[in-house]
Amino acid sequence: MDAIIKPLRGKSPDTKPSDVRPGFHPAELDPAEFLAAAVHPDQPRPSRIEAEQAVQTLLAYIGENPQREGLLDTPRRVVEAYDELFQGYHQCPAEVLNRTFGETAGYDDFVLIRDMGFTSHCEHHMMPFYGKAHIAYTPIERVVGLSKLARLVDIFGHRLQTQEHLTAQLAAAVDEVLKPRGVAVMVEAEHTCMSARGIRKEGSRTFTTRFTGMFRDNPAEQARFLSMVNTPSR
């Protein structure tokens, strides 16, 4: 994972307060999707025993014998794995981004963190997809800790997803909480629901992007972001 901070550029003397976020539009997603935990403490949920019984049912459905020695502990293991793989439902994205720092010395260019690896699960087949997320934002006075954006990727990744939705959620969360001049997100991933089943095109990758503010309104900034993302690592 590379953290890149571009060199400081001088501000134009003509910059006005009203120009801080040119072309800003409110996030298009429901804020409940990217600001709060997805599971409420009082939300009705099946018990762990019921979840393990569901795994037994699936084992029987595929023709297995859930009572054979090698599968006796499988329902427990699967439920424990689900607790880890889908922990993002219980985590709050807004809390991750809420702590910011003001010691920027007038920094006014974008901050890019690229090559943040993630593994998520497709909401259509519940099969893994995995790859890298790249996020840039242009701060206004305050910046967020670099690890916080990586944590944000993990939170949304540890939920059932489509890649398009994941990309939109990352951009919307950074845009809404940090309120920067603009946000740029690129996600690239391989989907096992396409490489391990169905069409079986191993190695194919899907790319999605989302731009807000100055990145959406300025093609030159988009191009600069994409160029830096695609620069080979040393």
What whole-number distance in Å separates Cα of residue 104 and Cα of residue 162?
A: 35
Tokens 């502990």 found at = 73
Across the range 160-164, mean pLDDT stands at 97
Crossing angle (nearest 10°) for helices 74-85 and 48-61: 110
Q: Which fold has domain 2-6+29-36+93-230?
A: GTP Cyclohydrolase I, domain 2 (3.30.1130)
Do the first three CATH levels of 2-6+29-36+93-230 and 48-87 match, i.e. the same topology?
A: no
**Rounded (10°) CA dihedral 24, 28, 29, 32:** 60
Cα dihedral sign, 51-53-55-58: negative
What whole-number distance in Å separates Cα of residue 117 and Cα of residue 188?
A: 10
Higher pLDDT, 16 or 224: 224
Q: How far apart are the first and last CA of the chain?
A: 12
User: How far from chain centre, in Å, is Cα 195?
Assistant: 21
What whole-number distance in Å separates Cα of residue 208 and Cα of residue 34?
A: 18
Higher pLDDT, 32 or 204: 204
Across the range 77-81, mean pLDDT stands at 98
User: What integer pLDDT is reported at residue 11 of this predicted model?
Assistant: 40
Q: How confident is the model at residue 163 (pLDDT cuts 50, 70, 90)?
A: very high
Across the range 215-226, mean pLDDT stands at 97
Residue 198 · residue 85 · CB < 8 Å: no
Across the range 128-155, mean pLDDT stands at 95
Residue 42 · residue 57 · CB < 8 Å: no
User: What integer pLDDT is reported at residue 41 of this predicted model?
Assistant: 79
Q: How confident is the model at residue 174 (pLDDT cuts 50, 70, 90)?
A: very high
User: What integer pLDDT is reported at residue 151 of this predicted model?
Assistant: 97
Across the range 13-34, mean pLDDT stands at 55
Across the range 179-195, mean pLDDT stands at 96
User: What integer pLDDT is reported at residue 8 of this predicted model?
Assistant: 37
Active site residues: 122-125, 163, 191, 193
User: What integer pLDDT is reported at residue 3 of this predicted model?
Assistant: 54
Superfamily of domain 48-87: GTP cyclohydrolase I, N-terminal domain (1.10.286.10)
Residue 64 has pLDDT above 60, yes or no: yes
DSSP codes of every residue in 97-147: HS-EE---TT--S-EEEEEEEEEEEETTT--EEEEEEEEEEE-SS-EE-HH
Would you kindly state where each structural domain of the chain is located, as residue ranges? 2-6+29-36+93-230, 48-87
